[in-house]
Amino acid sequence: MNDLSKRPDHDPPYDYPPYGSTRLRFPREPLVQLPAGALDVPGPLVPKGFVRDGDNDLTNKGKSAPLGEKMILAGRLLDESGRPIRDSLVEIWQANASGRYDHVGDQHDAPLDPNFSGAGRVLTDALGRYRFVTIRPGAYPWQNHPNAWRPAHIHFSVFGPAFATRLVTQMYFPGDPLLPHDPIFNCTADPRARQRLVSEFDFESTVEGHALGFRFDVVLSGPEATPMEAPAG
């Protein structure tokens, strides 16, 4: 039987003991081997109406502005040769500025923000670009190990030509002191690949007097691929 705990060094392993919940969800049976090209057949495209104007602005969904530091998050979706991935659905979700998700499963005692749902979506343009307006998320405690805190992060989901080609990853912020202590960030073995999960401060996308800018490019394959999370089993 194959060792299902191992994946390429640029992706996290299926089973990583310091990240406790992987024990509950990593595959127990051999993975199904699909024929080459099986996922190359285009599926239904995302309808244009699925993404509405303003869906990429997470700060305009309430009766007033959400609390926290406003930020612009922009980047490109690329293949291994640096070519743009056009018309691809990019979705993000995140905690609010206090480190709490607007989700029934989050019972952290940090306050909810009635003006911030923490979710947005956009289609990439002809150059593979995406752009979100959001709030910088807060760190929060979790129960993985004693005194465990997740660094500030934003979840990304990107879709290819079919729903079976969905990929999920997380984006972090430069200089975060919690990164060396976070098993989810550190379960990617290759330190260079780990750094591809960290965004860059970006003056070009910063809006004067309004919001700081951060850049996060997502590369789908190849030696410079962005590390992607294993699907839940």
Q: Which residues, other chains included, contact 47 with Cβ-Cβ below 8 Å and sequence gap of 6+?
A: none
For 98-146, the pLDDT digits (tens) are 999 999 999 999 999 999 999 999 999 999 999 999 999 999 999 999 9
Active site (annotated) includes residue 155: yes
Q: Is 150 a catalytic residue?
A: yes
pLDDT of the residue at 2: 44
Is 153 assigned a catalytic role? yes
Task: Name residue 82's amino acid.
Answer: G
CB-CB contact of 92 with 57 (8 Å): no
Encoded tokens for 62: 């309430």
Asked whether 1 and 124 are in contact (CB, 8 A), the reply is: no
Superfamily in which the 22-28+55-219 domain is placed by CATH: Aromatic compound dioxygenase (2.60.130.10)
Q: Which of 121, 153, 194, 196 is catalytic?
A: 153
The confidence score (pLDDT) of residue 9 equals: 66
Out of 54-58, 94-98, 229-233, least confident range: 229-233
Question: Measured between alpha carbons, how far is 154 from 224 in angstroms, rounded to an integer?
Answer: 20
CB within 8 A of 200, min separation 6: which ones? 174, 214, 215, 216
Q: Which of 26-30, 74-78, 139-143 has the lowest mean pLDDT?
A: 26-30
Q: What is the DSSP letter of 127?
A: T
Q: What is the structure's pLDDT at 129?
A: 97
| Candidates 16, 19, 101, 172; catalytic one | 101
Is 100 in the active site? no
Per-residue pLDDT reduced to its tens digit, 136-193: 999 999 999 999 999 999 999 998 766 667 899 999 999 999 999 999 999 998 999 9
Q: Give the residue carrying structure tokens 């959400």.
A: 66
pTM assigned to the model: 0.88
Question: Would you place residue 21 in the very low, low, confident or very high pLDDT band (cuts 50, 70, 90)?
Answer: confident
Known catalytic residue at 130: no
pLDDT confidence of 40, banded at 50, 70, 90?
A: low
Q: Which of 150, 172, 194, 196 is catalytic?
A: 150
Mean pLDDT for 87-103 is: 96
